[in-house]
Amino acid sequence: MQVLDGRHCFAHLTIEENLHTGAFVRKPSAKQIEQLLEKIYHYFPRLRKLRKNQAG
């Protein structure tokens, strides 16, 4: 995953959509994306609860 410069996010997207956007540059498979998301949610469990909220 990649964090946008300055840690900005796309405010009109959900948290999870922003995470998917960060994964896009690596061109992972759907399974790899799910594994990456699980890893992120492991380190930041609160994000799992908030993942459907708008990021902005």
Q: For 6-56, what is each residue's pLDDT tens digit?
A: 556 778 889 899 888 887 777 889 899 899 899 999 999 999 999 999 887
Q: What distance in Å separates the CA atoms of residue 7 and residue 34, rounded to the nearest whole number?
A: 22
Residue 8 pLDDT: 65
Q: What distance in Å separates the CA atoms of residue 15 and residue 1, rounded to the nearest whole number?
A: 13
